[in-house]
Chains A and B, each alone.
Chain A
């Protein structure tokens, strides 16, 4: 917290909205290139000193994520239903955003992910499309992200991944018992396990500590700065330039435009709910797949009656989210999976969509433990196990240390009816319309999850599990979704997309949109690496444009 300070009346070069996985990267790239940047973040500015091993604060309460008491969310399955308050989505809400509390899986998309429509064909009911860019366009930026942020992994170990220009900067993390069992079983089945690429330091890197294996990654902020969030990696670099101000507790309600239709800055509520207008020559929205769409819809004006950058009508549409089922296995000896990072081994053998299966979709499967103590007691035992009493207590005593999870990360098709919109009735604590989520699974996504579960069970059995079980596959099981994608789709055609191939809004020349909202397809989840690669690439183009005089206000 040592950056520059700008006055709201001072038109800075770039106003970045959201200090998360994308916003942190953009702020660093722009400020180190010499531009003056203000970053507005709706959440607080916390650091490793604020974080604790406290399951009650971070999983039961919304310690690092959106709090529906302040920002209610409504949910409905389709447009004919009345939306009701349901926590359907979840996102990081502090400086660093979701990169602070994420599990830190850091998968590159495959080459095929960018051209699935061409390769697979049309899927009825879905809006499956090719990206306007290819893997090769993003490859240099994946590499840049891996080196800039600090990613541990083994380059070339995943035979299904696209070509990479460099190995990972850090070796993989030590394998856990779940990884050993998974590797043994998948090899027996003729599959190709590889060390999980993680945004966690296996060794000291750029002045930060290596991981000490405390086990509190997913949902938690890292207390030793070993998780490579933007909070500890690029944001300090941005602040050090003296040209970047991170302004926390700043909740944007509208992006303003002038008579020419150019963005002029944004109005936000400060910590005391006072409205402030920060002027800027260009605006970059990095507020996540839900909040970005919501903010654009809130930014209506005479010139933009359906919301900003929304001449296509696609802002908020095509919401894709976090799909995949859980399979669990009980083993004879202790695994102690609560120690160290969540995931150490992965397979991508089932990743590609294959028309022979009879449905679109695919899965990446990882070996992990998905629970902390109380959550395990609440949800981790088989469905037919007692839920209270002496026998229940006895089961907790063995299952917690002897269980591992296989989590599938499966496809989520873009569908026109799935969306983020403004709730017409419910307001948040600032008087703004609540986020309304409309979402139902595509039948192929359900078929993929069920098919993947059979593979997960097969692997657990091959690993020698004494007992296996799965979570039910109801829609509620995938709530709240933590991956929010597709709501400001990237494309070449302004009628079929919101941003162009460089993340610039088709409708507004000095407005950039960079986060999961740009995704044309959801790949097999794990969006962070691609969000950040897009952020490095978009920043590159924004800088080139700005140097050519694009910032003249």
Chain B
């Protein structure tokens, strides 16, 4: 099998370029190694738990793992520690608004994470048109479906859900209809 594949590849890219493809495959492989992020760099654990609770309503763990299992919160922490450090203030004020909304809806509650699932859904409905929710949704989806090297999409949970495979080489047919399907 391996040799047939190598033969096909060599016809496709040319013998001279095989090493190039191998190198590209190697860095693709390195890039998708899930890096575990045991500690938060920017978020405090309490805030992280609150954000995690909201991302878990964006991609819930119903019918299989969701944002929580994929480690989306670790991606968000990484983003806020690096390329999106300028968005920390947006998170601070955004989460304050969320807590205010929670107080309005559930005055006796103490945290988003402690709310029942149905209550969390009602809370998210209350904030879903805010710019902060759009930011959180964007981060959640990049964390869920982006490259695992950023701390999210653990074990390719997001990619498995949507049916995406990260490979350096594909071979036709790619789908049902180019494979002769009517």
Which chain A residues have a beta carbon within 8 Å of chain B's beta carbons? 48-49, 52-57, 60-61, 69, 174-177, 179-181, 203-204, 207-215, 223-226, 331, 333-340, 373-374, 376-378, 387-390, 392-394, 396-397, 400-401
Contact = CB atoms under 8 A, between A and B. Distances in A.
B159 interface: yes
Given A212-B169, A213-B171, A397 B162 contact: yes
B166 A48 contact: no
Nearest to A332: B176
Given A181-B177, A388-B124, 6 more contacts: A180-B177, A223-B168, A334-B163, A339-B174, A388-B59, A400-B163
Contact of B177 (A48, A177, A373): A177
Contact of B13 (A174, A212, A394, A401): A212
B164 A210 contact: no
A393 B62 contact: yes
A376 B161 CA distance: 13
Contact of A53 (B147, B150, B173): B147
B176 A333 contact: yes
Interface stretch (B24-32, B93-101, B103-111): B24-32
B21 A338 contact: no
Contact of B150 (A56, A210, A337): A56
B20 A389 contact: no
B137 interface: yes
Among the interface residues B144, B158, B177, B181, which one has the most CB atoms of the partner chain A within 10 A?
B177
A373 B57 contact: no
Contacts of A203: 12
Contacts of B128: 387-388
Nearest to B176: A333
B181 to A, nearest CB: 6
A30 B125 CA distance: 62
Contacts of B7: none
Where chain A touches its partner, the secondary structure class is: loop
Interface of B: 9, 12-14, 16-17, 20-21, 23-24, 27-28, 31, 57-60, 62-63, 66, 83, 86, 121, 124, 128, 137-138, 141-142, 144-147, 149-150, 158-159, 161-164, 166-179, 181
A377 B21 contact: no
A393 B176 contact: no
Contacts of B168: 53, 212, 214, 223-224
A81 B20 CA distance: 51
A376 B144 CA distance: 12
Nearest to B168: A214
Nearest to B66: A393
A231 to B, nearest CB: 14
A396 B63 CA distance: 13
Contacts of A397: 161-163
Nearest to A212: B169
Contacts of B164: 338, 373, 400-401
Contacts of B167: 214
Contacts of A396: 161-162
Contact of B174 (A60, A340, A376): A340
12 contacts: A54-B147, A207-B16, A209-B12, A209-B16, A210-B12, A212-B21, A340-B172, A373-B146, A388-B59, A390-B63, A393-B66, A393-B161
Nearest to B21: A224
Nearest to A378: B141
Contacts of B14: 204, 208-210
B146 A55 contact: yes
B24 A224 contact: yes
Contacts of B27: 49, 52, 223
A60 B142 contact: yes
A177 B175 contact: yes
B154 to A, nearest CB: 15
A365 to B, nearest CB: 18
Contacts of B59: 388, 392-393
Contacts of A49: 23, 27
Nearest to A398: B163
A374 B176 contact: no
A213 B28 contact: no
Contacts of A334: 163, 175-176
A513 B22 CA distance: 41
A215 B23 CA distance: 17
B31 A374 contact: no
B178 A209 contact: no
Contacts of B23: 49
Among the interface residues B16, B59, B174, B179, which one has the most CB atoms of the partner chain A within 10 A?
B174
Contact of A389 (B13, B57, B86, B173): B57
A204 B147 CA distance: 29
A52 B121 contact: no
Q: When A and B form their complex, which 4 residue pairs have the shortest distance between CB atoms, in order from nearest?
A: A204-B14, A209-B17, A333-B176, A177-B175
Contacts of A174: 172, 178
Contact of A176 (B13, B31, B83, B178): B178
Nearest to A394: B63
A53 B60 contact: no
A390 B9 CA distance: 41
Given A376-B162, A388-B137, A396-B162, A335 B177 contact: yes
A401 B163 contact: yes
B176 A177 contact: yes
B20 A209 contact: yes
Contacts of B124: 388-389
Contacts of A53: 28, 31, 147, 166, 168
B161 A224 contact: no
B17 A215 contact: no
Contact of B60 (A54, A176, A180, A390): A390
A100 to B, nearest CB: 15
B162 A177 contact: no
Contact of B141 (A208, A214, A374): A374
A204 B176 contact: no
A373 B174 contact: no
Contact of B162 (A69, A204, A209, A400): A400
B20 A48 contact: yes
